[in-house]
Structure 1
Amino acid sequence: MRILLNNSLALLRSPRAAPPIRSLLFGSKKWSSAMSIPPPSISASEEALAGRLWIKFNRECLFSMYSPFAVSLAAGNLKIETFRQYIAQDVHFLKAFAHAYELAAECADDDDDKLAISDLRKSVMDELKMHDSFVQDWDLDISKEVSVNSATLRYTEFLLATASGKVEGLKAPGMLDTPFEKTKVAAYTLGAVTPCMKLYAFLGKEFGALLDSSEVNHPYKKWIENYSSDAFQASAKQTEDLLEKLSVCMTGEELDIIEKLYQQAMKLEVEFFHAQPFAQPTIVPLLKNHSKDELMIFSDFDLTCTVVDSSAILAEIAIVTAPKDDQGQQINRMLSADLKNTWSLLSKQYTEHYEECIESILNKEKADKFDYEGLCEALEQLSEFEKKANDRVIESGVLKGLNLDDIKRAGERLILQDGCINVFQKILKTQDVNAKLHVLSYCWCGDLIRAAFSARGVDAVEVHANEFTFEESISTGEIERKVESPIDKAQQFKSILQNRKKDEEKSILTVYIGDSVGDLLCLLEADIGIVVASSSSLRRVGSHFGVSFVPLFSGIVQKQKQEETWKGLSGTLYTVSSWAEIHSFALGWE
């Protein structure tokens, strides 16, 4: 049982919230056919156009940030020849920007807009001057003519075509006979420029945050300081603001065109970063650098892979399928109303006792350094609590009478975290990589997990969870208890790894992905422990025993800088904002 059960059951008790939860789980005629509950996001009405587009295409931004070029530049060990090639290509970029702004200014019908575009062009010209200073500071030899590479050419041609009015849905050049039609071209041009400006401002801030103030030997410090400077950040913001102003009167169809241009520009930027000539060892992407090893990916399931906790799903199945009255009552099956009340009571007890257990753990003396043994001892207390909670669930009879087909159907229709399945699919299909995927879960019913993965073509996953007992496909209410606690998970993790080492002579790299206190020991045991949207209790308990939580990107840059290898029980866990970040780190741009 997980603490999220209480929140999910609160939804069940709410007349307004109950139908969407049911539509999430089932798709047969017996239940609602609606199938999607989107994850929380910023309201479109609360965010300007550029902000919405940046959030929507953030995945492409991560692919640029996690590129070998960007990681090496941030770490300061990018080869100078690679940087020279990049500067030469970037000059072509900037010249195209300057010309695009010239064309956009001609299309603007407002003097203030023309002036704003001219200011942006001036910033580009200043940036070109900055490149000249790079040449002097790094003694770069750019006297040799450097041809434009294909990635640079694709972006510059795309940008100048847009600025010339060659945009799908717009009149052909020469036919832009009204100021209003020409103004659209200005807006479209800003749509193609803005993502580049925003991306560089973002990278500048990210890289700048990792610069040590005492570090004077970072060869690319000036580059980073330029893009993290207030002046460049203001220029990027000015570009976004101008895009908003120029598009304010556009129709939905025209805004869709801007979105497509924005997305295309982001994609071309990713290609540009990955097209830089590169001939040095890097820590990314993970799979490429460990193709000679066996890679073992371990993951939690509930709320790491899923949007809704599995205990709430099973509770919903039980309530929806339970008899409403004594007529047609199945033998020893609780009525729907009684089930709701019993689940509510179990949920309340779990939440209260869980918080008490966590506070009891935190009342122990705080460690002044990483204390794995102390953490294991403390989590024995939580393990006992989890087992007693499961005792109450089994004794209550709330899991009795569930149909295996209903459980599998719910698993097939279960909404998973965006990008999760894509990561697993691509890892398992990557050639020349020996990867194994294991899911370790408190879930009461492994069939639910297997159905969720199988329906999405990930049949190679090995599921380690508890199991319902069935009689003719109907649950008895009993659970075959295999993985109930943090200690159980850690034992499963070690057992799987030990068995694999007996069969394989290759070195093994382990990755564990989780989100809660129950995952702490496995996260720490793995060579790379990745925390997705962690709960506050995970951070509180981990920090209490000396665990460090480091953003994954900064951890990667540090390892790139010091040429370190990944190693378990280091006391450091790596945090990510989404599965897209895991994708960028593990697989890179494809």
Structure 2
Amino acid sequence: MQRNRPLRSEKLTTSTSLAAEAAARDGSAAGRFWIACQEEAVFALYTPFMVCLAAGKLGLDVFRNYIAQNARLLKAFAQAYQMAEGYADDDESKAVFKQLRISVLKRLTMNDSVSREWGIATRQEVIPNSATLKYTEFLLETAAGKIEGGKGSLLIDTPFEKTRITAYTVGAMTPFTRLVAYLAKELHFHLKHKGNDHPCKKWIDIYASASFEASAVQIEQLLDKLSVSLTSEELAIVEKLYRQAMKHEIEFYSSLPIVQPALVPLLKVHDLTHHLVIFSDFDLTCTVIDSSATLAEISISISSRASPSGTDDDNQNAQVSSSDVRTAWDAIAKLYTEEFGQCIKSIVPSEQDAAKTLDYESLYNNLEQISVFEKRANSRVIESGLLKGISLEDIKRVGELLVLQDGCKDFFQESVKMKEKFNADFHILSCCWCADLMRSAFSSVGCLNALNIHSNEFIYEESISTGEFVRTIESPTDNVETFRNILANLGSSKQPLSVFIGDSIGDLLCLLEADVGIIIGSNSSLRKVGEQFGVSFVPLYSGLIKKQSEVAGEDSLVWKGLSGVLYTASSWTEIHAFLFGA
């Protein structure tokens, strides 16, 4: 059964991503490289420095250090542009490099001017941190023909080699301007309702301006021009340098020290004071396809293998059997969808006004209707016998091939490291009929040992399903009872801080009771029911900025369950950046 697959929510990025996608469709190498790295750019947005800057809580001394470190980078860029100008073999490219170098020098002057308005002395010498040093060394070595990871320096005596080095250098420089434009536009978008109150508004406006975007487009167009004559192997080197530069950019923002308490990364910030417990749903939260549909396909597949190949009659019987099984599943799915829709209509009648604030008790009572319906639907599946005959071997094989949502694999692989390094637990709560399918999926990406899986279990006889399963979690109320029991039995002296990641109505109670409830995608039924009972849905980054502005001190805990606010995330990468950092 396919259960109301959620629509993807809007990406964090604004017009920048749309322009890049359009450019990539037109064959732009720069556009393609940016799209490939765009999810990684979210890590820069979620650094303590950027979050505190966005919240208007960044101290001037901290900002002065940023300007000083950034000035080091700008000087290196001006030097690299000058070197690249010397390599360029046509007047048009030389002119562009000269314009870009002048633009960088103007930016240095502008930094001094804006900083003086705030009373910040930018001329004071600041020792570059390790991230700044690594970045400038990478940039200047690339411009000199020393390609990181290559076989020493490249010869740059011939016009051909000079053109190649110019392309490599531009590939290493382009992410700087594009990422700054992206960050500034994101901040500008989230701060547009604050008027002129933000202390760094002028700074943000400068880098979110059309003129700075024009500089980003100019160097991207230059990269596209230089890439035309490259071989596929050379273009792969350019992309590698682009990705390395993006990594250096993220490390640069991550390395900037702040003195005020920050809310990110959540796991590292609260490691000493709280026991962090991260929960996630499985179906359509982690996976692209609902597990019930996957199990149905397995049962259809084994029905086609039921009769051994031999006579034409045998083959015909197998085909009929397979067709009958598919028809039976289609009927079950259709009835499920119809009854689910009736449940939603009864919970959210069109004539009833929505609650102004969270009415959790009424929500819980109404979701009991969903619980009764889900259990009845599961009984129908068991009684049909359609799950009978599925082997554990088939389940494991299919589980290994399950496609996970973008970024999900990386998140849970990182959870292995986080569990070992920090005081954190990871739990998967799911109404999936078969926990073995989930175990196989997580085992295939190497993170099963970090997870505690709570779900229903197939009943087997000699590793073959009987068609029944142990019914542990079938509904929203089962889900939240399991959630509560886990928190109650932690056995930790530290106060728990819970995060729940989900996508559907079955997760709604857990999402609300968790200190931080995060929704992947945008499930219309979830939003409709939530809003009916006073739930608010806020983009995760916007909510984080607001929470950061409320931080009063080191021990300030601004996250608290049953607040009535749920946070929407565009991807697992965004959640990764919020919880773990870069």
| 2:386 is the alignment partner of 1:406 | no
Q: CA deviation at 1:454?
A: 3.6
Question: For 2:80, which of 100, 114, 135 is the aligned residue?
Answer: 100
Structure 2 contact 503–520 (Cα < 8 Å) conserved: yes
* Between 180-189 and 249-258, the greater mean CA deviation after superposition: 180-189
CA distance in structure 1 between the aligned counterparts of 2:331 and 2:302, rounded to whole angstroms: 20
Q: C-alpha offsets along residues 489-516 of structure 1, whole Å, 9 cap, x if unaligned?
A: 122212322333xx33321101101111
State how 1:366-405 maps to structure 2 within 5 Å: 366-369=353-356, 370-405=358-393
Q: State yes or no: 1:566 paired with 2:559.
A: yes
Distance 1:460 1:214, change over 3 A: closer
Could you tell me which amino acid in structure 1 is paired with residue 223 of structure 2? Answer: L
* Equivalent-residue separation in structure 2 for 1:471 and 1:540 (angstroms): 43
Match of 1:579 in 2: 572
Aligned partner of residue 477 in structure 2, secondary structure: helix
**How far has the Cα of 1:269 moved from its partner?**
0.9
In the alignment, the residues of structure 1 paired with residue 102 and residue 378 of structure 2 have an alpha-carbon distance, to the nearest angstrom, of: 67
Residues 510-540 of structure 1 deviation map (CA, whole Å, 9 limit, x = unaligned): 1101111211111111000111123232223
Counterpart secondary structure, 2:468? strand
Match of 2:424 among 422, 430, 435: 435
Partner of 1:303: 284
- Counterpart in the other structure of 1:19: none
1:481/1:555 Cα in 2 relative to 1: closer, same or farther (>3 Å)? same
Could you tell me which of 108, 113, 127 is aligned with 1:133? 113
User: Is the contact between residue 276 and residue 423 of structure 2 (CA under 8 Å) also seen in structure 1?
Assistant: yes
Other structure's SS at 1:279 match: coil
**Superposition map of 1:205-216 within 5 A:** 205-211=185-191, 213-216=193-196
Whether the aligned pair in 1 keeps the contact of 2:6 and 2:503 (CA below 8 Å) is no
* Pair 1:173–1:49, CA change in 2 (3 A): closer
CA contact (8 A) 2:3 2:290 kept: no
Which of 302, 305, 317 aligns to 1:321? It is 302
Select between 129-138 and 460-469 the one with higher mean Cα deviation.
460-469
Distance 1:401 1:42 in 2: 49
State the distance in 1 between where 2:122 and 2:509 align: 53
Q: Which residue of 1 aligns with 2:254?
A: 274
Tell me, in whole angstroms, the C-alpha distance in 1 between the residues paired with 2:370 and 2:115: 60
Aligned residue runs from structure 1 range 440-459, under 5 A: 440-455=429-444, 456-459=446-449
**Structure 2 counterpart of 1:312, from 293, 318, 323:** 293
Once the two structures are superposed, residues 201-248 of structure 1 have per-residue CA deviations (whole angstroms, 9 ceiling, x without a partner) of: 111011112225555442222211111112112221222222122212
Query: Match of 1:166, SS?
Result: coil
Unaligned runs of 5+ in 2: 8-20, 552-556
Shift of 1:197: 0.8
Asked whether the 8 Å contact 1:5–1:311 carries over to 2, the reply is no
- State how far apart, in whole Å, the 2-side matches of 1:290 and 1:174 are: 51
1:271 CA displacement: 1.6
Inter-partner Cα distance in structure 1 for 2:194 and 2:50:
22
What is the CA distance between 1:88 and its match in structure 2? Answer: 1.0
Aligned to 2:16: none
Q: Once structures 1 and 2 are overlaid, which stretch shifts more, 221-230 or 316-325?
A: 316-325
Separation of aligned partners in 1, 2:237 and 2:401: 33
The answer on whether the counterparts of 2:44 and 2:253 sit within 8 Å (CA) in structure 1 is: yes
1:588 is matched with 581
Query: For residue 432 of structure 2, what is the amino acid of its counterpart?
Result: C
Q: Which residue of 2 aligns with 1:3?
A: 3
Please report the TM-score for the alignment, with normalisation by the length of structure 1.
0.86
* Residue deviations 1:340-396 (CA, integer Å, cap 9, x gap): 221122222223333343344332524142332333233233223322222221222
Paired amino acid for 1:446: A
**CA 1:354–1:182: 2 relative to 1, 3 Å:** same
Cα–Cα, structure 1 residues 537 and 248, in superposed 2: closer, same or farther, change >3 Å? farther
Distance 2:164 2:480 in 1: 59
The correspondence of residues 518-533 of structure 1 with structure 2, limited to 5 A, is 518-533=506-521
- Whether the aligned pair in 2 keeps the contact of 1:68 and 1:284 (CA below 8 Å) is yes
CA deviations over 1:463-492 (Å, ceiling 9, x no partner): 221222222222111222221122221222
Q: Which deviates further from its counterpart, 212-221 or 580-589?
A: 212-221
Q: What secondary structure sits across from 1:561 in the alignment?
A: helix
Measured in 1, the distance between the counterparts of 2:6 and 2:195 equals 49
Conservation of the 8 A alpha-carbon contact between 2:49 and 2:58: yes
| Mapped contact 2:415–2:450 kept (Cα < 8 A) | no
Report Cα offsets for 1:427-450 as digits up to 9, x if no partner. Answer: 353356322222111101112222
Indicate if the aligned counterparts of 1:155 and 1:269 stay in contact, CA closer than 8 A.
yes
1:463 & 1:301 partners in 2: Cα distance?
Answer: 10
Structure 1 range deviating more: 447-456 or 340-349: 447-456
1:353 aligned residue:
339
Runs of 4 or more consecutive aligned structure 1 residues displaced over 6 Å after TM superposition: 41-44, 168-171
How far did 1:460 drift?
4.2
**Which residue identity is paired with 2:435?**
G
1:295-351 CA deviation, whole Å, 9 max, x = no partner?
11111011211222211221122122225565599xxx9932321221122222223
Partner of 1:21: none
**Cα distance in 2 for residues equivalent to 1:157 and 1:582:** 32
Deviates more, 1:418-427 or 1:265-274: 418-427
Please point out which of 465, 472, 476 is paired with 1:475.
465
For residue 513 of structure 1, give the secondary structure of its aligned residue in structure 2.
strand
Instruction: Give the equivalent residue in structure 1 for 2:529.
Output: 541
Does the 8 A contact of 1:528 with 1:568 survive in 2?
yes
Greater CA deviation, 226-235 or 110-119? 110-119
Amino acid at match of 1:203: L
Going from structure 1 to structure 2, the CA distance change for 1:403 and 1:46 (only over 3 Å counts) comes to farther
Partner Cα distance (1:47, 1:377) in 2: 55
Q: For the residues of structure 1 that align with 2:521 and 2:72, how far apart are their CA atoms?
A: 40
Q: Does 1:339 align with 2:325?
A: yes
- The question of whether the paired residues in 1 share the 8 Å contact of 2:6 and 2:524 is answered with no
- The residue identity in structure 1 corresponding to 2:42 is L
Residues matched between the structures, number: 550
Listed as ranges, the gaps of 5+ residues in structure 1 are 8-40
Deviates more, 1:573-582 or 1:453-462: 453-462
Aligned equivalents of 2:525, 2:367: Cα separation in 1: 12
Question: Cα distance, 1:44 vs. partner?
Answer: 6.4
8 Å contact from structure 1 (residues 3, 354) kept in 2: no
Match 1:200 to one of 180, 183, 186: 180
Q: Is the 8 A contact 2:458 2:465 kept in 1?
A: yes
Contact kept? 1:428, 1:436, Cα under 8 Å: no
- With over 3 angstroms needed to count, the CA separation of the structure-2 counterparts of 1:44 and 1:81, relative to structure 1, is closer
Contact 2:416–2:447 (Cα < 8 Å) also in 1? no
- Structure 1 residue 504 and structure 2 residue 492: aligned? yes
CA RMSD of superposed structures (Å)? 2.8
Distance in 2, Cα, partners of 1:511 & 1:280: 24
Question: Counterpart in 1 of 2:539?
Answer: 551
Give the direction of change, closer, same or farther, for the CA distance of 1:154–1:327 in structure 2 (3 Å limit): closer
Residue pair 1:5, 1:347 contacting (<8 A) in 2 also: no
Amino acid aligned to 2:79: H
Counterpart Cα distance in 1 of 2:253 and 2:568: 24
The question of whether the paired residues in 2 share the 8 Å contact of 1:411 and 1:449 is answered with yes
Name the CA shift for 1:185/1:504 in 2 (closer, same or farther; >3 Å).
Answer: closer
SS of 2:222's partner is helix
Q: Deviations over 1:390-416 (max 9, x none)?
A: 222122211111112221232233332
d(CA) in 2 for partners of 1:384 and 1:504? 35
Rounded to whole Å, the distance in 2 between the matches of 1:266 and 1:438 is 32
| 1:400–1:174 Cα change, 3 Å | closer
